[in-house]
Structure 1
Amino acid sequence: MEALLELEKVQRVLSLMGSRGLSDSDGSGGGDRFLAHFLLFLAQPFDSLAIEKKVVLISELLREVNSDTLKEVQRLASLEGTNREDEPTKKFKTDAEKLTIQDAPMIGFDAMMRANSTLEDFCRSYFIFHGLDVNRPHSVFKFLPFLSFTESYIYQLDASNEDSLLLVPDNNSSSTVLERKIQGSSQMSLSDMLDPLDNLLQCQGLMTDQLRNELKSGIQYWSLERKLCQALSRNDKISIEDVMEAIHLKSFDYRVLNLMMYRLTGQQVNDLHMEFLSVSEFLVEICDDLISENSCFTTDLF
């Protein structure tokens, strides 16, 4: 099925080339197919490079490249074996797109189940901003592996953050306080645990500075969550600034998924949309908290 879809893409580009007069002048079918694949390659998203920048780079490069250059590149690409001393600490498979089993980020079934409702909400609420119809299965399943894995991985880190808190007796009173669980020196921090996901997204050509910053905001949120929980357990004064910042940061996963969608669809990030959705996410979080609090009152939990 994937091969047929790729063939369809090439055929569409070939038709476009014909209508624009871009076909190979000697009428060689092989030449046209090569050019079609080349154009498809240029259209693929890569880091933060805009299409205009790619055109400039290729134009400058082709003026300097000749057949000898390509033969040298071909020779270098065919070399076997590498100097192990020069290998990075985190090794990747030779196709440079798949992580090794040892370094591949893993997710559990529970994390996938917890992420499910968020994914459904994201698809229903955000796909429209990318010109996609959530009611068309192809639009959903085309991007689902990337979105599902990332959201599940984030939920798994969220669970790890919750596990890092433990109820222990307070030595100064009979009350119980929430303290951070003391782990061995070998325990990975949440930031370290985020590295495999960072590497995976980098290998898939999805990582950008903006996306990485949003992932870091997740670390900030979890840190604030621990701080606020510990303060509540001790009946300490809570900073309203911390609460407001935590509410704003809480929906960082939606922003991560949204930035991924821009990369997956080959679009430039729409800052106006991002700002609007950030405000919307903030209001939704407050609304959810109010509904939850009202539910607690009506069930006599307070």
Structure 2
Amino acid sequence: MVGNAAQLYPEPDLDPLDDAMVGMDSMMRSNSTLEDFCRSYFMFHNMEASQPRSIFSYLPILSFTESYIYQLDGFNEKLLQLPSSVPVFSKDFEDVDSKLGAKSVRMFRKDPFRPLLIVLERQGLLTERIEEELRCGEEYWALERELCSALVSNKEISIKDATRAIHLKSFDYRIMNLLLYQLRGEKVNELHMEFLSVSELLVEVSDDLFDYEDDVVENNFNILRMFVKYYGPSAAPIMLAKFITEAEEKYDGLLKALDPELSMKYQKRCEEATSEGGKTYGPSLGTWHIPPVIEDEARYRAAFSQA
């Protein structure tokens, strides 16, 4: 431990920026995701999340990886709060928020996942597919910055970029799942991966609908925000409902292809998560609620700040 951070030290001849370090705050914030992953994904590996041995055998690498991703995600969220007139990673950018730290700025500009890649490679866990998902994470953050900056600057956006971003958003779950296959020496089950990717998409949409007002205030990526910007306030709910319906149809088809016992377990888990979290987890639990759209986000943020 280094202060409030856990660190895996590099080889002596590596660049200091290749240190893989995570802060305690990131570890704490990643806990709920790790719990959800264990309870929702272990069943796809014939494991029980209720058995401590199942969890603790794989917890160190899963926890470190998810915490590292959370740390970078938190840094990216800070970038979204900066004035849109300040170019990201410019000298002016570093002056605007010195709390981000010069080292973090350099690392994010250079190759944010390199330290994690080194750790996974040393552990014999790195695969081309995991590397691809890490690149998806970088792509998601870049799209999030671009799209959210466009919204606050009242610029046009690409709906293709917006839907690409929502598909990429759960890259951390896919990385942990791929790591679990590696840790257990299992071949990746493509049906399970495809099914879970569609489920992840629907969960992300559900989360965005639940967090819509907060995301407007904080200028976070939110699929409803993007649809409102692109289609307009009247058509956005209709187009988003169509988007959800298409994903649900794909989900239902893949659900039927699963082993019946696994299908039943997963649906039960969705029901548990919904009752615990107070929001729809996945598509199979009834109707969707699309909140009233916010036509003037700037006015909404101003009113919120004065409240």
TM-score range, shorter chain: 0.5 to 0.7
TM-score, normalising length: structure 2: 0.59
CA drift of 1:162 comes to: 2.3
Q: Write the deviation string for residues 139-161 of structure 1: whole angstroms up to 9, x where unpaired.
A: 00111101000000001111222
Asked whether 1:216 is paired with 2:131, we answer no
The alpha carbon displacement at 1:100 in A equals 10
Letter in 2 for 1:292: D
Q: 1:146 aligns with which of 33, 50, 61?
A: 61
Secondary structure of 2:209's aligned partner: helix
Q: Could you say which residue in structure 1 is the equivalent of 2:11?
A: 91
- Alignment deviations for residues 53-102 of structure 1 (CA, whole Å, 9 cap, x no partner): xxxxxxxxxxxxxxxxxxxxxxxxxxxxxxxxxxxxx7369xxxxx9998
Distance 1:191 1:100 in 2: 12
3-state SS of 1:267 partner: coil
* Whole-angstrom distance in 1 between the partners of 2:169 and 2:129: 17
CA positional deviation for 1:193: 2.5
Residues in 2 aligned to 1:102 and 1:237: alpha-carbon distance in whole angstroms: 36
Q: In structure 2, how many angstroms separate the alpha carbons of the residues matched to 1:261 and 1:191?
A: 28
Given that 2:49 and 2:55 are in contact with CA atoms closer than 8 Å, whether structure 1 keeps it comes out as: yes
> By how many angstroms is 1:165 displaced?
3.9
> Is 1:135–2:43 an aligned residue pair?
no
Larger Rg: 1
Q: Is the 8 A contact 2:26 2:68 kept in 1?
A: yes
C-alpha offsets along residues 180-217 of structure 1, whole Å, 9 cap, x if unaligned?
Answer: 35246972335522111001000101100001100110
Residues 178, 282 of structure 1: alpha-carbon distance in 2 compared, 3 angstrom cutoff: farther
C-alpha distance 190-116 of structure 1, shift in aligned 2 (>3 A)? farther
1:120 maps onto 2:28 in alignment? no
| Structure 1 equivalent of residue 88 of structure 2 | 180
Instruction: Specify every segment of 5 or more residues in structure 2 that has no aligned partner in the other structure, as ranges.
Output: 1-9, 95-101, 217-290, 301-307
Q: Which amino acid aligns with 2:211?
A: S
Structure 1: distance between partners of 2:127 and 2:110: 17
From the superposition, tell whether residues 196 and 117 of structure 1 become closer, same or farther in structure 2 (CA, over 3 Å). same
Instruction: Indicate yes or no: 2:190 matched with 1:282.
Output: no
Structure-2 residue corresponding to 1:106: 21
Give the TM-score, by structure 1 length: 0.60
What is the 5 A alignment of 1:1-302? 91=11, 103-168=18-83, 180=88, 182-183=90-91, 187-189=106-108, 192-293=111-212
Q: Contact 2:136–2:171 at 8 Å: present in 1 too?
A: yes
Shift in Å, 1:293 = 2.8
What value does the CA root-mean-square deviation take over the aligned residues? 2.9
- Cα distance in 1, alignment partners of residues 125 and 34 from structure 2: 18
